[in-house]
């Protein structure tokens, strides 16, 4: 990830003092478990959480990034970076262990891929953004609602959901706490 994006402070302006380029600590040949934003399971050294929120990342988000080679990832936070209106890669659907996904204010654009509905362990999903740049089609949302049996928090602020009938939310899990 470190080499895929430009680092520009403008990409995380909304973060204020909390923002800094976390990937600057990512040095080849060092233990990735000591890098800023990386959390590992200390029993087997698997990367289980990645928090790159407010990290000044700017650029198109490629679908072939090594990020998608982290099968044990449980938490992923990419909020408040600028992915330059690129599409959310369908490869996010590979994270079958993910229970927390935050893609808010990332400047992803286009349609939310239906593969997000494969993340059946999600407890929290945040796709919100202040500008209407993400859409979700009714079939993708129906799949999401049907498969997310553990979900407690869904954030869709600013998303274009004009093709969605409100009745789809009637089928949400009884575990839902906020929508």
- Confidence (pLDDT) at 72: 95
Distance separating alpha carbons of residues 46 and 44, to the nearest angstrom: 6
User: Would you say the pTM of this structure is higher than 0.85?
Assistant: yes
Cβ neighbours around 39 below 10 Å, total: 15
What is the Cβ-side half-sphere exposure of residue 156, based on CA atoms within 13 angstroms? 18
Residue where the block lists tokens 């090594």? 66
Tokens in use for 103?
């893609």
Query: Could you list the pLDDT tens digit for every one of the 179 residues in the chain?
Result: 655 677 776 766 677 667 888 988 899 899 999 999 999 998 988 999 999 999 989 999 988 888 999 999 999 999 999 999 999 999 999 999 999 999 999 989 888 888 988 898 999 999 988 766 788 877 778 888 788 888 888 888 887 777 777 777 776 666 778 87
Task: Tell me which fold the domain 6-171 belongs to.
Answer: 3.80.10
Those residues whose C-beta lies under 8 Å from the C-beta of residue 146, and which sit 6 or more positions away, are 117, 171
Those residues whose C-beta lies under 8 Å from the C-beta of residue 64, and which sit 6 or more positions away, are none
Exposed/middle/buried for residue 6 (C-beta within 10 Å: 0-12, 13-18, 19+):
exposed
């Amino acid at each position: 990830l470190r080499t895929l994006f430009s680092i520009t402070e403008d990409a995380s302006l909304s973060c204020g003092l909390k923002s800094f380029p976390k990937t600057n600590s990512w040095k080849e040949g060092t233990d990735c478990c000591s890098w800023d934003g990386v959390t590992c399971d200390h029993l087997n050294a698997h990367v289980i959480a990645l928090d790159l929120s407010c990290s000044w990342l700017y650029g198109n988000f490629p679908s072939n990034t090594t990020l998608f080679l982290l099968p044990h990832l449980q938490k992923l936070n990419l909020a408040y970076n600028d992915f330059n209106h690129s599409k959310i890669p369908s490869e996010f659907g590979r994270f079958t262990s993910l229970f927390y996904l935050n893609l808010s204010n990332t400047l992803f654009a286009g349609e939310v891929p239906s593969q997000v509905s494969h993340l059946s362990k999600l407890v929290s999903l945040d796709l919100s953004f202040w500008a209407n740049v993400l859409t979700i089609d009714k079939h993708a949302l129906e799949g999401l609602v049907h498969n997310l049996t553990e979900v407690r928090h869904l954030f869709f602020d600013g998303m274009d959901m004009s093709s969605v009938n409100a009745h789809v939310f009637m089928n949400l899990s009884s575990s839902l706490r906020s929508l």
